[in-house]
Structure 1
């Protein structure tokens, strides 16, 4: 290992400062004089996108999203995924993966809910540690995000999350703490938002006192993209790296701040040392390999994604409907049947090697001749993307004037511009563009044309202005809150007759992220007859499979949901199909809970999330019994949105008011909230059915010296009493008695996933440490175990637990180390 301090000594101040901000969007500058290579990063966390835009680019493997990983309750599997992702990162010529996302699922409407693991901090922490270990054991740095308090996408770049210290320590910081202490995390990304009034990127208490001081973190702390807002404040607070480049707040500004005595040279050395440490750990420090990206479609990664997708699937209802024998006549119905919903939207999206839809999965397993299909209804948020050749002309002004300086061709009508635009021939924040192409309608009908833009835009069809997002452009909930909401116009078109599409675009000032974008969609609306057709098809088959849910248009970074009802007419579709066929099975693909007014009328329900590029194969494997539905809910499904802990009549609680979001529920989030208020959820935390049955044996609790040591071990035998191989999750909750309502009725503290063959038994051992009984004493600034009784409860979901022991702490313990 090179002596990093000697290397820093050899640098000029300017060279040191150069390493504290990106050179471009995805890399740091090299210092060739000292043989210091480039450190390159890539977006994650459910794949490695590489250096391309949010759309297109080099193809990559798409793994299951965060909430799907959460549903596996399997840290070992997550470590396996982390190791595979390390290979993906290397194929993109990078050293750092921007993941995992380990914010807590505070609400059921968070647009980024899909990217997070769980509503529970301990489950999130265990899975995060597995991910980090798997990734970093192969020399790729993880970057846990977003530190901290980013539990909503509404005004996330300006809002302040108001969170008391106890809730921070016990809930929102715990996964980051465990990733540092248990997994040796090398990287942290600060959140966009403020925490208690201070931007996370310049929050000295969070970065220096807690992260580095209390937890001993020695890795790199980087800003989210464009999430750094100052020079002196961020550097002195502990932020090592400003991203992306070129720099906005560092460079010469930081050099001058050092010369003026506003930032100490020793502080610069500390920040540089953190960068060099990660470079050394990942092999980037002395690397001079030329940058290259590959689309490696690895068979072993295909198999892992398929396996993980099945293990993430949660069977929520089964009235002797599943597994299917494969001999039934099957109707494949719904908006997600022939569309492979494999991932959420935003910075986590990538260009997958392929997408397997549920229809494709069943066709491969049973033969397409054995299936019937009906779409039934749509569930898109935006009009379906216009896919036709388009000539795109760029102008180096915002008025579409003069001759274009660059012309190219695109295959579809969505363009996202970040950084380099038109091969550098226009300024990224000051240009205009004209898109011209033909659309050939398939039917004679009134078409709906949708236009969305981060910037000004207008759309003409055959010379007629159809959609205007220019004249009265208003910021909405698209493109990370940089774009307008969709403007939809109608136009009558004739089948087979080409219609000329002309779109004009011009930049406008960005609020925070330096992003420009445009999207055009077109469709013919489906009517009532589509639902009637689906019901008629369902009535003629043995089984009706309805593939419903959302997509990455709804579950996306930069936009929270407005409700958790299924979009469009999907509820009506499910109800109609269920009336037509009593053996109706619904397969949900969403990034979180949904309301289900039809739940009593269907025979089966599977939550499949967004399981990656093998989606249809994994879903077919589970429904046909080739794989066990291995998932258990990592987030409670409420009966209705208003039951959620963050739902309030006061907008300060959610979505925020006057620049603040108050976490008034404190530590009572998720199942803790439902327990406290006696609210029965639709499906509880930890719940999931198997294709087999299990019996939990009599637990043995070892805690002879509990009063002095506050440790315990629980052992029990689990037996598969059914006739199929299957899995269950043994969950242990600690339940403090007589806490005066100041502590949750129960808190998950340990769990174990058990996979057993028919008739097989296995032994589970769950260890409890002093921290598992402690609460954070905000006044004393430390962890404390209060005197009293602690019930230990065991079960297979949060609502089905039984007390197996009561442990007594006779004396109030002193403060524990942070």
Structure 2
């Protein structure tokens, strides 16, 4: 006897049966990555491909909203959701315009900008940074984090230098790998950007870069190559600019390098509106097209998605035979592979956000990244006592540096300002504050005027400085348009907003000045003799004020090293030495005339003394590096060069030093830099502690890119190994020979 059901109950039962049948079919088709190896995943991808219609395949290759792409609901294929990075997960953006969605649960930890991370020279810290930001991306249900950025610091005017890892390809290559691995442990793809030669914001969507193959392979590609071959990143973002007349996002030369030479198996994602051709996007490696119809972060064309180059025009080309079906199948395979690594991977964690662990990582990166550039008469550290009056002067003492900057703008749960950090640290001293100057709000592509009376601010700052024993001037740049911000480059090398005039006036009434430089770029510093100390503090995120206060007070000893050179004047920089044709270009064409001589390579080879060199940074303690040895004098191409030395902390406080090893090839058959960084080791020691540093350099890493046969060559003959703690502070030179 069967139980009786009414019509409503029968409908519910039948619906339940249908849903379970569909789920069963879906699960049979798409097995999640809980127990599949790479071979089984590829089998699953091929099986799914057979079930997809042509329209569904094409729909997966382009955006459906500002930061997502379509899935296929009938097969259980999920959408892909992305977020801007690289130093935090951006607040939620509206579906189809650039306004924020207004969520109340999208606050995050703001980590220090990548220039700061690079300054740490600490690979373990880079891993912790990547893992932490990856956990936050995972908690926010993001599948792709749009970062890190590894474009090379070519000019100090580039508005986005703060997002990158400096001027040296070796340092960037070493630091980016653990960052990627850390992010991807969470089942979130690290999308390394911007591939490639996107080294300025001015004319970024128009400029055509002409650069030699040697410079391309030796300077601008290594960090991307390391990301692919060592970091195993799952995504790469194209760039806005052209290279040899073709846009880099779908460039035949770069496509071959990335997907054929390096065998990259992930997805190439366009920058927002960096695709320009259906044919090139189809044939030269673009897998997912995002943001077309926008100007990057400003205007947008509503409901433009079906008109993307990889949308209806691509579908039409597939239907009429212009493109073989294998072209779209290859793209979809890569997209599905990305899914099995991310949102079809049931093994990935749930993530977390704003945890104490994340804040600790952000604080440690900030403290280790701050660089002490000058410290006359041991101005720092400043000890707290009741008879001390400290004047903290400058808008940057209180201004948010997570707001603005372009796509890297963040919405942190909190942001400790330098003033707050100093006030909380100095309980006995009297801490005074005056803005001194003011600028408008930070907003993309806009400049707002000050809202306060500048003369009054200046007078108040001078008045406060007179009362103080010590002045801490917290100045530099900010995240506004024409400063450290996406969309355009800086317009001046010196300090903006008449800060130098203010500093001059303060100097007249109080000469005991320490300057805290908040920036992601070098600036011109003719006023250096007027300050007793200078700290490069970068953009430090949520824990900014605490990190700065720890360094200023001496609770932490600075150990950061500059990841790029500070030239005395702009014309000393290689990109600017050759004039307008080299930067910013003429009629949208630009020639990298300095070739391989970027940063310290230029300064040292051309004997142009910098203000502060690459790898430079002072400490509150002192180190003795001695007994520097090498394992032998003659090497073959497959050997490793092993350098070891003793290092002892001979000062009174704990500290860390970075031993740096450079290698040069005198009398080379090709143009060479005097020397290039090939190894480093950061060592932390207690006062009086001694240890041994060991640095390994594969001989094949000394190769140059030989343009005559388009491959790498290790030149035989004599080399010089330079060991020191800055590019211009070499403690010992050792001669070696590379033989057959």
Same fold (TM over 0.5): yes
* CA displacement at 1:88 relative to structure 2: 1.0
Contact 1:340 1:616 in 2 (8 A): no
Superposed displacement of residue 714, structure 1: 0.9
Q: Does the 8 Å contact 1:342/1:615 carry over to 2?
A: no
Hey, what does 1:300 align to over in structure 2?
357
Q: 2:485 aligns with which of 548, 556, 563?
A: 556
Given that 1:68 and 1:313 are in contact with CA atoms closer than 8 Å, whether structure 2 keeps it comes out as yes
Query: Counterpart of 1:13?
Result: 54
**Counterpart position of 2:631:** 702
Which residue number in structure 1 is paired with residue 305 of structure 2?
A: 246
Q: Is the 8 A contact 1:64 1:343 kept in 2?
A: no
Would you say 1:613 and 2:542 are equivalent positions?
yes
Q: 1:657 to 1:610 in 2, by over 3 A?
A: same
Post-superposition shift, 1:78? 1.0
Hey, what's the Cα distance between the residues in 1 that align with 2:636 and 2:700?
Answer: 14
CA contact (8 A) 1:192 1:227 kept: yes
Q: 2:399 aligns with which of 326, 336, 339?
A: 339
* Change in 2 beyond 3 A, CA 1:605/1:30: same
1:235 to 282, 286, 300: 282
Structure 1 position 542 matched with structure 2 position 469: yes
Name the structure 1 match of 2:573. 644
Alpha-carbon contact 1:344-1:591 (below 8 Å) kept: no
Matches of 2:353 and 2:191, distance apart in 1:
23
Which of 325, 339, 342 does residue 383 from structure 2 map onto? Answer: 325
Q: Does the CA contact (< 8 Å) of 2:197 and 2:241 recur in 1? A: yes
Q: Give the deviation of 1:734 after TM superposition.
A: 0.5
The residue aligned with 1:38 is 79
- 1:527-606 aligned within 5 A: 527=455, 530-553=457-480, 554-606=483-535
1:792 is displaced (CA, Å) by: 0.4
Specify the alignment match of 2:45 in structure 1.
4
Greater mean deviation of Cα atoms: 210-219 or 729-738: 210-219
Cα distance in 1, alignment partners of residues 523 and 359 from structure 2: 29
Structure 1 or 2: more helix by fraction? 2
Do the aligned partners of residues 54 and 627 (structure 1) sit closer, same or farther apart at CA in structure 2, a change above 3 Å counting?
A: farther
1:309 partnered with 2:238 = no
Aligned-pair distance for 1:120? 0.3
**Are the counterparts in 2 of residues 37 and 285 from structure 1 also a CA contact under 8 Å?**
no
TM-fit CA distance, 1:687: 0.4
> 2:338 maps to which residue?
278
Q: More strand per residue: 1 or 2?
A: 1
Cα distance in 1 for residues equivalent to 2:675 and 2:56 = 53
Deviation of residue 709 (structure 1)? 2.8
Offset of 1:369 from its aligned partner? 7.6
User: Is residue 671 of structure 2 the alignment partner of residue 630 of structure 1?
Assistant: no
Choose from 47, 68, 73 the match for 2:88. Answer: 47
SS at match of 2:696: strand
Question: In 1, distance between residues paired with 2:153 and 2:215?
Answer: 14
1:44 is displaced (CA, Å) by 0.2
Equivalent of 1:371, from 428, 431, 439?
431
The whole-number CA distance in structure 1 between the counterparts of 2:84 and 2:478 is 20
CA contact (8 A) 1:653 1:663 kept: yes
1:526 aligns with 2:454: yes
Residue number among 650, 672, 692 corresponding to 1:743 in the alignment: 672
Q: Secondary structure at the match of 1:548?
A: strand
Is residue 808 from structure 1 mapped to residue 729 from structure 2 by the alignment? no
Give the drift of 1:696: 0.9
Matched pairs, number = 674
* Cα distance, 1:555 vs structure 2: 0.4
TM-score w.r.t. structure 1 length? 0.79
| Unpaired segments ≥5 residues, structure 1 | 386-413, 415-477, 480-484, 487-519, 812-818
Q: How does 1:118-517 map to 2 (within 5 A)?
A: 118-207=166-255, 209-244=256-291, 246-247=305-306, 248-284=308-344, 296-319=353-376, 320-327=378-385, 328-342=388-402, 345-367=405-427, 370-378=430-438, 380=439, 383-384=440-441, 479=445, 486=447
Once the 2 structures are TM-superposed, how far is the Cα of residue 272 of structure 1 from its aligned partner?
0.7
Change in 2 beyond 3 A, CA 1:561/1:177: same
1:342 deviates by: 4.3
Q: Distance in 2 between matches of 1:635 and 1:344?
A: 23
Maintained 8 Å contact 1:86/1:138: yes
Q: 1:216-248: CA deviations, max 9, x gaps?
A: 211111110111112122121111111137241
Paired position in structure 1 for 2:131: 83
User: How far does the alpha carbon of each residue in 1:770-799 deviate from its partner, in whole angstroms, 9 at most, with x for none?
Assistant: 332110001211000112211001000000
Q: Give the whole-Å Cα distance in 2 for the aligned partners of 1:622 and 1:287.
A: 40
Tell me the secondary structure at the aligned position of residue 16 of structure 1. helix
**Cα shift at 1:15:** 1.4
Pair 1:788 & 2:717 matched: yes
CA RMSD of aligned residues (A): 2.2
CA–CA separation in structure 1 for the residues paired with 2:369 and 2:131: 18
Matches of 2:161 and 2:518, distance apart in 1 = 13
* 1:455 aligned partner: none
Contact residue 343 and residue 610 of structure 1 kept, 8 A: no
Q: 1:531 to 1:211 in 2, by over 3 A?
A: same
Contact 1:21 1:243 (8 Å CA) reproduced? yes
1:752, distance to aligned residue in structure 2 (A): 1.1
Measure, in 2, the Cα distance between the counterparts of 1:280 and 1:154.
Answer: 38
Give 3-state SS (helix, strand or coil) of 1:698's partner: strand
Partner of 1:501: none
| 1:423 corresponding residue in structure 2 | none
